[in-house]
Amino acid sequence: MSPEDALQCLIIQPKFSANNFWNYADVANSLGAKTPAPPLGLLTVAALLPQHWKLKVVDLNVREITNAEWDAADLVCVGGMLPQQEGIVNAIENAKARGKYIVVGGADPSSQPNLYNRADALVLGEGEASIPIWLAAWRDGQPNGVFEAPDRPDVTTSPIPRYDLIDFKDYVHIGVQFSRGCPFNCEFCDIIELYGRVPRSKTAGQLLAELDRLYELGYRGWVDLVDDNFIGNKRQVKPMLVALQRWSQERNYPFYFGTEATLNMADDDELLTLMQQVDFRYVFMGIETPDPELLALTQKRVNSMRPIMERLDRVYAHGISISAGFIFGFDNEKRGNDKVIIDFIEESGIVVAMVGLLVALPNTQLVRRLQREGRLLSADLTLFTDTESPYRIEASGIYAENKDNQAGGLNFVTTRDRAEVYREYRNVLDAIFSPRNFMNRVLATAKRTRPFNRHKPSLSELKREIRSLFSTACWMTKNKSVRWLYWRNTLRTLFMGFDKFDYAQRMMSMFRHFERQSRYVSKQIDVNIDFAINHATYPRMVAKEPLSASLLPILQADPI
């Protein structure tokens, strides 16, 4: 077997947990889709592999692999993130059992390759740089081993992802990427370790060619710009948005957009206006905490440069709705943080608020510090002492999903009582996903934001949306706790214009996921509290005095 042969390659996207915050499969089902988003990394890998191969992508979140597909494959490629670890390992074992050549790559294998050394080839880092190295070695008769490029690739050479290998109907939105990397330096972040602190952008022409491809393939609707920080390099983003505006206008706005960006996006009116003009509707922001001291300690000072609420209002004023991430369990966090976070979320009107527990991810400044301080816990929740990775999935029974930052999290000894952190965290989830608070936020934000949708749904989108509207209305009407609030919001937003009505319906449809998912997490947190109090073999807290005096000089040694 050589890369020059006409090989059949099976590319596998492992499953995500049904209990993950972002895995709103039930909402996707109401739209007739199966899962939120396709695996853009694997579609890019497909475009980097020899194009004379016969490539098949199977997303296990959509369907299972048939025996015929396994039998037909000459080689198997699999990749994914930390919570997909078990799925990646299963794919390796399945392929091995069937005598297939198995190749592994992507975020988690790149962060901790030692967990995947049963694979034949570990192709690490960004595929644009490492896949050619692996293929060259294979041509030289050395297909097995670890393949990694010395430098990060120039993304202007990145090919158009093979969108033709998926069925758009299976997904709620489709990903496109403009840049990789982020200029900031948050202590807990692995993005900057994986993709660097110097944002690398594609050219505007390249991005438009990707959108052209989606357009030609008949896709219409929501495109998610999956950049690590969309505004990491504003000098490149603005001309791209100008070109995108022209492109969209010429085609009567076939797409609308979402992305993730830092809060300083709100400080640039020109940028917000450009985003509004191309129909950006959603942005995810890592707010983490409103407490400036904690932001300084975690090196996210970009968030404390201006008042957060003012910044959010500026984004809302441009018709862009905000979802946000919050983190519980930072060092020095004070008692009563639950109230701080609940009040902030209610005041901000952020409907999709992902409140997670701090996780020291592999390959981050945070994990290195905690290890130095002897506070890191290993997967079986004993103090981490050996050199093996603390992130291997082990069925500990008690922490079945310890890779998730909600049901698991806090994989270190906390600075305040661990049980107290968990209790307050649970209070936040119970409060923000209570039917009343959730629905009140939807209504408040519908009033506050000024959507101006340029994209008009195609016939097939309209069908999907009507289907979802009926399904949501039936579900809400059956559910006593939310019925009245749902119909109140529906009637009130009906008189606010179609765009606000549409916004409110989309947000409310997410409740059926968050209600179930937050209850699941709440129950897991009860187990965690019991574990912390009755079973843990490590201290429930490290110190009573604040750490800042001893830590800040170390953290500030590497300024932005």
Positions in the binding site for ligand B12 (CB under 6 A):
16, 20-23, 36-37, 39-42, 44-45, 77, 79, 81-83, 103-108, 111, 123, 126-128, 131, 175, 177, 180, 190-191, 195, 226, 228, 356, 361, 404-405
Taking the complex as a whole, the smallest distance from the CB of residue 226 to ligand B12 amounts, in Å, to 4
From ligand B12, ligand SF4, none, interface partner of 262 (C-beta below 5 to 8 A by class): ligand SF4
| Torsion sign, CA atoms 324, 327, 328, 334 | negative
Structure tokens at 315: 């984004």
Taking the complex as a whole, the smallest distance from the CB of residue 65 to ligand B12 amounts, in Å, to 16
From ligand SF4, ligand B12, none, interface partner of 329 (C-beta below 5 to 8 A by class): none
From ligand B12, ligand SF4, none, interface partner of 290 (C-beta below 5 to 8 A by class): none
269-288 residues in contact with ligand SF4 (CB under 6 A) are 286
By DSSP bridging, strand 179-180 and strand 200-201 are antiparallel
- Got the DSSP string for 387-420? SS-TT-----STTTTTTSTTTS---B--SS-HHH
From ligand B12, ligand SF4, none, interface partner of 186 (C-beta below 5 to 8 A by class): ligand SF4
Q: Token pair 């192709």 is at which residue?
A: 123
- Over the window 157 to 186, marking each residue x when it contacts ligand SF4 by CB under 6 A and - when it does not, the resulting string is -------------------------x-xxx
Q: Give the whole-angstrom CA distance, residue 173 versus residue 143.
A: 36
* Element (DSSP H or E) covering residue 549: helix 548-555
Separation of CA 229 from chain center: 12
- 59 or 228: whose CB is closer to ligand SF4? 228
Taking the complex as a whole, the smallest distance from the CB of residue 388 to ligand SF4 amounts, in Å, to 26
Taking the complex as a whole, the smallest distance from the CB of residue 190 to ligand SF4 amounts, in Å, to 8
Q: Give the whole-angstrom CA distance, residue 490 versus residue 508.
A: 9
Pick one of 12, 107, 191, 345: the residue that binds ligand SF4 (CB under 6 A): 191
Beta strands in 160-279, from DSSP E residues, in sequence order: 174-176, 179-180, 200-201, 221-225, 255-260
- Over the window 234 to 273, marking each residue x when it contacts ligand SF4 by CB under 6 A and - when it does not, the resulting string is ----------------------------x-----------
Structure tokens at 222: 């929501």
Structure tokens at 299: 């090196």
Q: Give the whole-angstrom CA distance, residue 139 versus residue 113.
A: 23
- 95 or 182: whose CB is closer to ligand SF4? 182
SS3 238: helix
Binding flag, residue 233, ligand SF4 (CB under 6 A):
no
From ligand SF4, ligand B12, none, interface partner of 9 (C-beta below 5 to 8 A by class): none
Taking the complex as a whole, the smallest distance from the CB of residue 495 to ligand B12 amounts, in Å, to 33
Taking the complex as a whole, the smallest distance from the CB of residue 385 to ligand SF4 amounts, in Å, to 29
- Got the DSSP string for 35-74? BS---HHHHHHHHHS-TTSEEEEEETTT-PPPHHHHHH-S
Structure tokens at 321: 């709705």
By DSSP bridging, strand 321-328 and strand 280-288 are parallel
From ligand B12, ligand SF4, none, interface partner of 123 (C-beta below 5 to 8 A by class): ligand B12
Binding flag, residue 199, ligand SF4 (CB under 6 A):
no
Q: Are 35 and 28 in contact (CB under 8 A)?
A: yes
From ligand B12, ligand SF4, none, interface partner of 243 (C-beta below 5 to 8 A by class): none
- Got the DSSP string for 513-555? HHHHHHHHHHHHHHHHHHHHHHT-SS-S-S-SS-SHHHHHHHH
Taking the complex as a whole, the smallest distance from the CB of residue 70 to ligand B12 amounts, in Å, to 17
- 462 or 560: whose CB is closer to ligand B12? 560
Pick one of 76, 82, 166, 192: the residue that binds ligand SF4 (CB under 6 A): 192
124-143 residues in contact with ligand SF4 (CB under 6 A) are none
Q: Give the whole-angstrom CA distance, residue 387 versus residue 379.
A: 13
Angle between helices 337-348 and 418-432 (to 10 degrees): 20
Q: Site residues (CB under 6 A) for ligand SF4?
A: 182, 184-186, 189, 191-192, 228-229, 262, 286, 300
